[in-house]
Amino acid sequence: MMLDHIVHFVEKPADRAGAAFQLLGFHTAAGGSHADWGTANHLCYFDLDYIEFLAVTDEEKAGKSVNPLIRHCAAMKQEGFAQLAIRTGNMDELLQSLNSAGMPVEGPFEGRRVRPDGKEITWRMLFSGGNEELPFFIEWGDPDHVRREELISAGALAPHPNGIKGIGHILIHCKKPAETIAEWAKWLQLERGEEENSLLLGDKHLLFEKSTENSGIYAVAFNSPRKQTLEKKWRGGNYIF
């Protein structure tokens, strides 16, 4: 399993959030609109994993969507991290495995949007049917090498002026770390990391920290060239440089 993207819910328009993120030294690109869901996005890529700034453009349509992520964002009262997406290369095989393990699921749900260059992009999404805080799975219609080439050609995937190369780890706040880690490990089929209260997600770490406040994604930490780290609260989310 690999990290695909982090959903950061923002107020509309999504392009305004993307422009603001550029002021922090990041390269971002317009995504497009999801006509069936009443949402639109702006994207910040690190190879094929990325941060998605997702905005609701039609509250009525988004609130009635069959897609759990869209309903969740429509119900959010303020900006902030909404969800993690995990990339799979075989959704059908994954679905069979989860069903065999007796894990409730919702989906798969079909997704599509039209890029600024006119190409329609398609994907499928699979959600937990028992815990909305668990990450969802995504399978893209095109293979990774095709997506990478097209993103580079379109100018969406490019070096970041601030020198950041990628996402290093994601900090998750939860009330009971041991139980949360066990649930995430089973759902995502991940191994424990070397650090205490962590899971390995490809070349990235998911770190779980006890909190008596809200549960969910607390911070995204980048692989930064800086000698001293800087934590910045930005549009309801925390980013560590």
Q: What is the pLDDT of residue 132?
A: 87
How many whole angstroms separate alpha carbon 70 and alpha carbon 34?
10
Sorted by where each begins, the domain ranges of the chain are: 2-154, 166-240
Percent of the chain with pLDDT over 90: 89
Q: What is the pLDDT of residue 114?
A: 86
Q: What is the pLDDT of residue 62?
A: 97
How many whole angstroms separate alpha carbon 193 and alpha carbon 195?
5
Q: What is the pLDDT of residue 213?
A: 86
The domain 2-154 having CATH identifier 3.10.180.10: the answer here is yes
Asked if residues 30 and 42 have their Cβ atoms less than 8 Å apart, the reply is yes
136-171 confidence digits (pLDDT tens): 999 999 999 999 999 999 999 999 999 999 999 999
How many whole angstroms separate alpha carbon 196 and alpha carbon 207?
8
Q: What are phi and psi of 71, to 5 degrees?
A: -60, -40
Task: Tell me which fold the domain 166-240 belongs to.
Answer: Immunoglobulin-like (2.60.40)
How many whole angstroms separate alpha carbon 97 and alpha carbon 100?
5
Spell out, as residue ranges, where the chain has pLDDT lower than 50.
none
Helix ranges restricted to H, 23-143 = 59-63, 68-75, 91-100
